Amino acid sequence: MINTPILSSNTNTNLSNTPDNSFINLCTLNIRDLNDPMKQTQLLNYVESQQYDIIGLTETHFTTYNNTHTFKNHPTYHTIWTINDTQSHSSTGILIHHSLSKLIIRTSQHLRRITMVDLSFKYHKSLRLIVVYLPLNNLPLNRQVSNKVLALLNECFTLHLTPIVIGDFNVNLKKLYHNLQHDIKLSSPKFSLLKHIINQGYINTQLLFELLPSPTFNHISRIDGIFVYPNI
C-alpha cells in the first residue's frame, strides 16, 4: 500500500523504513534550486526525520552531476538524477531509501525533465515511479514531455508494472477538476497529461488526506501531485 502525503501538508505518518512495513511513504516536492550544499543537507535531514521512503524532486536546477556531491554514498538514501545541462530552471530526481533501492530493476531519464525508476517486489505488485516537471510556457516542450510520460505509462501494461506519476504539472488542479466536473472545455494543451491520467481513473492521493488540498504554489493553487493507478 502507498502512503502519499505531499511535503507542503506537513504530514508525518510515523511509518518506518523497514522492508517488512506494508506501506511506502512517498512524497513530492518542487525544491526550487538544490545547488546549495546547506539546502541539500537540510532536505536530507528533513526527509529522514519524516521517514519518507521515496521522494520525488522537481526543479532541482542541476546542470552537472558535480553539484550532487552531498548525496553521494549517503547512508540512508540512494539517488537518481536527471540533469539539464542546457537550462538551469529544470531537472528532476528521486531519493529512494536503501531498504527499497535494492529492489530497483530499471532507471531512465528523459528530456531533462523526467526521472523514472522501476521496482520489483517479490510478493507484491512491481511499481514504476515517474517524476515529471512539466514546463509552464514552452508548449511544444510541454507536449513532448507529456507524450513521453504517456508512453512510459503505456509500457507498464506490457511489463506488468503498476504506475505512479508524481511531480509538478504546472497547472491549477482545482481549475482542472472544476472544468472536468462541469464539462467545461480545457483548450490549453498544458492540461492534456493530467486529463488523460484522470480519465484513466488514476487516484489523486492528496484527496485521500485533504478534501480541500492546500495550495502548493504561492498560497494560491495546487500544481503538484501524486497520481497512482487505481488497482495499486
Domains and CATH numbers, the chain: 2-228 (3.60.10.10)
In the prediction, which pLDDT does 217 show? 58
In the prediction, which pLDDT does 11 show? 43
In the prediction, which pLDDT does 6 show? 42
- Assigned C-alpha cell, 173: 488542479
**Residues 200/23/106/140 CA torsion (nearest 10 deg):** 40
Looking at residues 66-75, what average pLDDT do you find?
93
Q: What is the pLDDT of residues 156-193, one digit of tens each?
A: 999 999 999 999 999 988 888 888 888 888 778 899 99
Q: How far apart are CA 44 and CA 42, in angstroms?
A: 6
Q: Which has the minimum average pLDDT: 44-48, 81-85, 214-218?
A: 214-218
Q: What is the pLDDT of residues 7-50, one digit of tens each?
A: 443 444 455 464 555 689 999 999 999 999 999 999 999 999 99
Say whether pLDDT at 85 is over 60. yes
